[in-house]
Structure 1
Amino acid sequence: MIDKPDSRDIRTPRFLIMDNTPLSLLGCIKALDWFFEPGCDVMITDLVVAEATRDPGEGRDQRRGVRAYIGEWLESNRDRITILETVEGIRYAREMKLWERAGKPDDLRPSWSDRGERSLLSAVQDLKQAISVVEEIIAVIDDRNCRDAVRAVRADLTMMGTRTFIRWMEEDFGIAEASTAWQTIRLATSNTADEGEEDDPVYITAPRVV
């Protein structure tokens, strides 16, 4: 599945996770360690970390077991993961600290529902920053709005959805569990997991260094 470039053209790749969905879906099958299989550095935006581990509130989709697994994975691999700070992530962290100091009153709890567009813009800004310090970015993204924003950046990167990532793990890294992983995820999410876009990459090619 990987198109190997000439040795003179090889760039050092990194994963960038700027959408919570890949963490959530792979968390369902406890397969987050697959991100380390290619030997790439793994970067995650701070707001994605916050979304993946926060309590969604009463009446929301709890999935506490998945959230607990993701939190434990992030903690146990903190030396292998780079957390990218975003403007919106810093703002959210500050609001949460103030809320906790106030005794966590329900009526003053920082809202998550109004983070959407602002968090997306923060993630895209950090994408630009990430590309400035590494040679190749593999952005694992399922959110359709996030994909559109990344395309608008016209950055030198590869985007892939979770389903494509799983296929990659099976075909190029021989992970046997990956052959049935997507079916398991579909069952765990009541068939709501995004199948991905038709233009998801089949090959990942490091572009020529000029």
Structure 2
Amino acid sequence: MTTPLDSVIVHDLKNRLALLADSLARLQVLSSAGEAQELAAGSHAQVLQLTHRLSGLLLTQRLASGRRLPVHLQDESPAQMLEELADDARLLGGGRLQIEVRAAPELPAMWICDRHLLRLALDSALYNALHYAVSRIRLAAALGEDGMLVFSIADDGPGPAAATPGEHSTGLGLQVCRAVAQAHRNKGREGLSRLSEGVGGGALFELRIP
């Protein structure tokens, strides 16, 4: 059972890891030696994953206590969020995978959403895709036929059906991703998240925000 002190400690750890991640990112740029740059990049990737897991733990604790997720809505750029996700994918992939990025022509310039929550869900799906992908990952953002903003992450791995129960899921867990989506409401509609078999195989994660 968690206590308020546990949450304070986790918040502090998350903030300190964020500062360390920023320092490592700058060190990676400044490092001229190949080995030093490689070590900085690897350390940065690990810190990003630890920060993400701690953020996921905080959300899981909130859900377990029956509280709603805090939502801070602002105008955000879907194209910028997609490009930032792609940058992380290239960094964490370490050149092992081909990262395909597609922002649809009809993608709105701005969308009202909670950027932090969306990135938690998208980062979870990205880490999952990086784990299972064989050669490529496709990242996309578009406006769905239902008028919702749709982010998708697809990999060419074995797909959800080939994994053992609970194995091929997002880092936050599908329950938390679903909660992130449903926390976004507009004109009587809720967002939704879905993990399914890709058209050409592999796994397809979709996050739809009204």
TM-score interval (norm. to shorter): under 0.3
TM score, norm. by length of structure 2:
0.23
TM score, norm. by length of structure 1:
0.23
